[in-house]
Amino acid sequence: MSERVCDIALTVNGESVVETIEARQSLVDFLREKLSLTGSHVGCEHGVCGACTVRVEGVTVRGCLMLAAQCDGAKVDTIEGVSDSGEIADLQQAFEKRNALQCGFCTPGMLLTAQELLSSGAIPSREKIREHISGNYCRCTGYHAIVDAIEAVAQARAGSAR
Amino acid sequence: MKIVEDTAPVLTALDRPNSYIGRSVPRPNLARLTQGRAQYVSDVVLPRMAYVAFVRSPHAHAKIVSIDAAAAQQAPGVVAVVTGAELARIITPWVGVLTHLKGIKSAPQHAIAVDRACWVGEAVCAVIARTRAEAEDGCELVHVEYEELPAVTDPETALDASTPVIHPTLGDNLTFERSLSAGDPEKGFAEADATIETTFVFGRHTGVTNEPRAVVADWNPGEQRMTVYQGTQAPHMMQNLFAKHLGLAEHQVRVVTKDVGGSFGIKVHTYADEMATVALSKLLRRPIKFVADRIESFVTDIHARDHRVKARIGVKNDGTITAFEIDDLTGIGPYSVYPRTSGIEANQIVNLVGSPYTCMNYKARTRVVFQNKNVMCQYRAVGHPIAVAVTEGLVELAAAKIGMDPLELRRRNLFPDDSYPAQTAAGLKLEKLSHHEALAHLDAMVNYAGLRAEQERLRKQGIYRGLGFASFIEVTNPSAAFYGVGGAKISAQDGATVKLDAQGMISIHSGVTEQGQGAEAVLAQCVATSFGVPIERIRVVTGDTDNTPYGGGTWASRAAGIGGEAAWQAGKALRQNVLTVAGSILQAKPETLDIRNGLVVDQDGGNERISLEEVARIAYFRPDTLPSGIRAEFVATRHYVPRAWPFSFTNGIQASYLEVDTDSGFVKLLKHWCVEDCGTIINPQLVDEQVRGGVVQGIGAALFEQCVYDQRGQLLNGNMADYLVPMAVEMPDIEVGHVVSPTADSELGAKGAGEAGTAGAPGSVMNAINDALRPLGAASLTDMPFTPDKILRALGKV
């Protein structure tokens, strides 16, 4: 049975984690079930909806398409981590003020994807924003408010950087 | 920067000094959602909880010969394997009919199939295990022997004598039929200068909520009580149904609805697998969790639309519409869905076709037939997208035929704004609509003349852009006329309880539910205004049958108009109660006092007299200092149901501007507009976002979404890679405008706004595509979704 389980050591939201896991367990199931980090959501389990988006080594990934076993030694950030660190506080505030979320199920993934886009420091066009978030499914908003919120933060960050 | 700061208006429609009505205050619970701190049902974990997974039928119609569960029972982690026959001892079957849909019939449906499976995806056996993964492993070890039966999969032949009858006891495959004839349709068509006849087809599609359906059921044998955590729109309705079919009293059942990851009408029905989960908790005496995976969602979440409408319009050369006629056919699943039935969408189509227009000659027939496919039921904007696309498609085809501008043709036929109250040909009673003002507003918003000039100029360069419109009315704020009169225990009224606590803070407990649309913000705005406190002092509780007044929940755009009014009235009642005590403390007449911004003040002049905290302190801790006749009743409950009108109709008009690539058949949406009239606007931002989200759902139906079945009843694209939903990159910016015609049925005057977007978008997109292709002589496209291959075929290119 040894090939069915494996030990992994990784850093999740800055905390060291050592766990024995089933080799077949996806990263998002590991985060939700083993670590009780339920802010990453399971929407489609086949890599289309983006609700499970998390960051591994600074890059956004689909938590449902990556195995937890592949994260041995990696640095993983989830919505809980970037919320507590304050890294995306301005994006969160803009989403709240602009009502860029309704049910909120896509929001953690959407925020991490938006943060990835804005990390370059440039002010993306609305088309560029739409393109970048087009792997994150939102059934509620119709996307317009999300684009508004991301655009506003891009402008605000560029303004304060000057 | 598009984010607009909310600021207090000088004077508001409802004229309270510290009014929040008409303001875009942010929703109170958003930070929880943006920080990943929400609690959806899929996040709920209870002690001793086990997970259920279902073995589902691979056949559209099959006899279940035998179920061999021996291997599954021995599998690691498996707690139990339960068949339909075993579970039927715990939970009774149901039949989805309503008495006001005359003649509607259906067969008993079990929580898990007994003897026979009737669609691909119907659960035939449950495996319960310590983890979801182990339950799924167990499912793979269950051996079910089936004997395949002929499947009914074509609505057009479902009623033929040669087609097998799915439920022999019902006699035929007809679920429901309705015919209507109003005015003199024959005469109307005889008087027409032109008649246009075509067939509209609407693809079967589904809600694709981002969070799949989820339920955790917890039977406590010690308390003899069932607690169900469920992502539902109607907790009290589900409480009634769980109790009824498990043989419990309603007070033995508590339904708790926490955060819900999208609903749109998907989560307001009885699902066999959810009923099974609740029954399994009772059987196994421990908490059981079921979360549908995406594949299960596609084959079990209700589907909707799937209508074929033969339609005809008569029009005179002066633009007068002389008659409408439709013949509608829809194929539902093998059962009419409980308790709302699968006849309502068809019924709505009959009610709504032609409804913006004064033409009184109307003939309609609809037939609803059983099929061996997944069940169909009410999904956002029930019937409207179909009725609107049929009506508005006919109107624009008629305009093209007689050579009249499509907006001008509408102006000549829409109910005049001063003609209310009015009644449509189908008999819908309209209190007050604003079609002409909305059309004028839209005309200005889109810069109609400018866009037409641009369109003309670009055509000369071989660029084909189209502009299409759709006027509509929308059913909101339903009274008992929708379901209650038909015998369903679905409450039309809703209640709100407001309380003043010992620190002067307010809580609201409401029977409507939060699905992300912002109901809790609206409730807080209503009570903050009618009671008189800053909105930060308000806490809202919804979604718990133990802790909220009995109510209908959230559907048919009723939460703000009905739940909001109940909260508004409860806030007023509590204000009177508090002022009675304050008056006693201050030795002033209560009617000379008011509560503003959290303070008791003089009605005249607004001078501060005493804080709410101080009134609460005296009432709760030193009631001995109050005169003997004064009792502090710092809890007030009010209920509200619309009485003057069966429904509060809203209206509006949408426009779609798009470009068709005539080589590839792809449609690029350039811009979308909607002007709607939902009466008093409690929160403009929330209304706009309901419209935008609804529009995109409608666009999905028009361009992408379809559940494709083959002749054997297999769903061919039941996953998100093959079933396309709108993503950000394909969607346009959407401008929203408003006209305000409050209903006089309530003090607030608010009508619903949740479905207007979905109602009008498919029709306007269809009309825009046809407008774009008209100069190329393309055949009219009337078969949704308008995929590139259909467009190329219309152009004769393939």
B435 located within any domain:
yes
Rg (CA), chain B: 28
Together in a domain, A66 and A116: no
Together in a domain, B775 and B728: yes
Q: Which residue has the tokens 């408010």?
A: A145
B191 located within any domain:
no
Q: Are A95 and B34 inside 8 Å of each other by CB?
A: yes
Together in a domain, A18 and A66: yes
The percent of residues above 70 in pLDDT, for chain B, comes to: 98
Sheet holding B194-206, edge to edge: B174-182, B362-369, B321-331, B303-315, B194-206
- Find the mean pLDDT for residues B430-446: 98
B700 located within any domain:
yes
Which of B640, B672, B688 terminates a domain? The answer is B640
> If DSSP codes are grouped into helix, strand and coil, which group holds residue B724?
coil
Contacts of residue A43 in chain B, CB cutoff 8 Å?
A: 210-212, 261, 294
Q: Sorting pLDDT into bands at 50, 70 and 90, what band is B467?
A: very high
Together in a domain, A45 and A65: yes
- Find the mean pLDDT for residues B27-56: 97
Q: Which of B140, B57, B84, B700 is nearest to B373 (CA)?
A: B57
Together in a domain, A76 and A93: no
Together in a domain, B34 and B45: no
**B108, exposed or middle or buried, with CB in 10 Å at 0-12, 13-18, 19+?**
middle
Together in a domain, B514 and B625: yes
Task: Give the span between the Cα atoms of B330 and B342, in whole angstroms.
Answer: 10
Provide φ and ψ at B509, rounded to 5°: -115, 120
Together in a domain, B47 and B62: yes
- Respond yes or no on whether the N-terminal peptide bond of residue B785 is cis (omega within 30° of 0): yes
Please give, rounded to a whole number of angstroms, the shortest distance from the CA of B182 to a CA of chain A.
38
- Looking at residue B481, its pLDDT comes to 87
Question: Residue A108: in which H helix or E strand, if any?
Answer: helix A107-118
- Residue B88: is its pLDDT beyond 70? yes
Residue pLDDT, tens place only, B59-79: 999 999 999 999 999 999 999
For B17-28, b where at least 16 C-beta lie within 10 A, e where not — what string?
ebbbbbbbbbbb
Q: Are B261 and A105 inside 8 Å of each other by CB?
A: yes
- Find the mean pLDDT for residues B541-561: 95
Q: Which of A65-74, B5-14, B96-105, B762-771 has the lowest mean pLDDT?
A: B5-14
- Residue B5: is its pLDDT beyond 90? no
Higher pLDDT, B482 or B770: B770
Q: Sorting pLDDT into bands at 50, 70 and 90, what band is B13?
A: very low
Together in a domain, A69 and A132: no
Range of the domain at A147: 88-161
Task: Give the span between the Cα atoms of B486 and B463, in whole angstroms.
Answer: 53
Together in a domain, B695 and B764: yes
Nearest CA in chain B to A81: B35
| Pairs of residues, one from chain A and one from chain B, whose beta carbons lie less than 8 Å apart | 194
- Looking at residue A62, its pLDDT comes to 98
- Looking at residue B730, its pLDDT comes to 96
The enclosing domain of B776 has a CATH number of 3.30.365.10
Nearest CA in chain B to A40: B36
Together in a domain, B273 and B332: no
Contacts of residue B33 in chain A, CB cutoff 8 Å?
A: 101, 103-104, 107
B718 located within any domain:
yes
Contacts of residue B264 in chain A, CB cutoff 8 Å?
A: 139
- Residue A1: is its pLDDT beyond 70? no
Q: Are A41 and B40 inside 8 Å of each other by CB?
A: yes
- Tell me the average pLDDT of chain B: 96
Contacts of residue B212 in chain A, CB cutoff 8 Å?
A: 43
Q: Sorting pLDDT into bands at 50, 70 and 90, what band is A3?
A: confident
Which of A81, A105, A139 terminates a domain? The answer is A81
Together in a domain, A123 and A157: yes
- Find the mean pLDDT for residues B360-372: 98
- Find the mean pLDDT for residues B350-358: 98
- Residue B123: is its pLDDT beyond 70? yes
- Respond yes or no on whether the N-terminal peptide bond of residue B339 is cis (omega within 30° of 0): yes
Task: Give the span between the Cα atoms of B291 and B212, in whole angstroms.
Answer: 7
DSSP code of residue B585: H
Task: Give the span between the Cα atoms of B539 and B134, in whole angstroms.
Answer: 41
Which of B300, B318, B353 terminates a domain? The answer is B300
- Residue B1: is its pLDDT beyond 70? no
Task: Give the span between the Cα atoms of B349 and B366, in whole angstroms.
Answer: 8
CA B33 and chain centroid, separation: 22
Together in a domain, A74 and A94: no
Q: Supply angle C-alpha B18, B24, B28, rounded to 5.
A: 85
Together in a domain, A130 and A104: yes
User: Domain tally for chain B?
Assistant: 3
Amino acid B713 reads G
- Find the mean pLDDT for residues A90-116: 98
Together in a domain, B294 and B382: no
Nearest CA in chain A to B692: A142
Task: Give the span between the Cα atoms of B36 and A39, in whole angstroms.
Answer: 4
**B202, exposed or middle or buried, with CB in 10 Å at 0-12, 13-18, 19+?**
buried
- Find the mean pLDDT for residues B113-135: 98
B161 located within any domain:
no
Q: Are B733 and A51 inside 8 Å of each other by CB?
A: no
Are the C-beta atoms of residues B508 and B540 closer than 8 Å to each other?
A: yes
Together in a domain, B610 and B666: no
Together in a domain, A40 and A57: yes
Residue pLDDT, tens place only, B731-752: 999 999 999 999 999 999 999 9
Contacts of residue B31 in chain A, CB cutoff 8 Å?
A: 92, 96
Nearest CA in chain A to B513: A103
Which of A55, A81, A107 terminates a domain? The answer is A81
Which residues lie below 8 Å from residue B201, measured CB to CB, with a gap of 6+? B307, B308, B309, B782, B783, B784
- Residue A162: is its pLDDT beyond 70? no
- Find the mean pLDDT for residues B248-255: 98
Q: Sorting pLDDT into bands at 50, 70 and 90, what band is B139?
A: very high
User: What tokens appear for A152 in the block?
Assistant: 């506003």
Q: Which of A35-39, B173-177, B642-646 has the lowest mean pLDDT?
A: B642-646
B173 located within any domain:
no
- Looking at residue B302, its pLDDT comes to 98
Task: Give the span between the Cα atoms of B473 and B763, in whole angstroms.
Answer: 13
The percent of residues above 90 in pLDDT, for chain B, comes to: 96
Nearest CA in chain B to A136: B727
Task: Give the span between the Cα atoms of B736 and B751, in whole angstroms.
Answer: 17
> If DSSP codes are grouped into helix, strand and coil, which group holds residue A31?
helix
User: What tokens appear for B725 in the block?
Assistant: 């939903």
DSSP code of residue A115: H
Together in a domain, B360 and B433: yes
Together in a domain, A92 and A57: no
Which of A37, A56, A81 terminates a domain? The answer is A81
Range of the domain at B319: 303-480+644-794
User: Domain tally for chain A?
Assistant: 2
Together in a domain, B652 and B768: yes
- Looking at residue B457, its pLDDT comes to 98
Task: Give the span between the Cα atoms of B128 and B87, in whole angstroms.
Answer: 13
Kindly report the number of other CB atoms within 10 A of residue B260's CB atom: 26
Q: Are A83 and B36 inside 8 Å of each other by CB?
A: yes
- Looking at residue B482, its pLDDT comes to 87
Nearest CA in chain A to B259: A103
Does the predicted interface ipTM exceed a cut of 0.85?
yes
Rg (CA), chain A: 16
Together in a domain, B714 and B611: no
- Residue B3: is its pLDDT beyond 80? no
Are the C-beta atoms of residues B176 and B104 closer than 8 Å to each other?
A: yes
Together in a domain, A117 and A154: yes
Contacts of residue B694 in chain A, CB cutoff 8 Å?
A: 142
Q: Are A130 and B34 inside 8 Å of each other by CB?
A: no
- Find the mean pLDDT for residues B567-594: 97
Q: Are B33 and A104 inside 8 Å of each other by CB?
A: yes
- Find the mean pLDDT for residues B383-389: 98
The enclosing domain of A19 has a CATH number of 3.10.20.30
Together in a domain, B92 and B224: yes
Q: Are A142 and B694 inside 8 Å of each other by CB?
A: yes
Q: Which residue has the tokens 């009293």?
A: B249
Which of B603, B618, B640 terminates a domain? The answer is B640
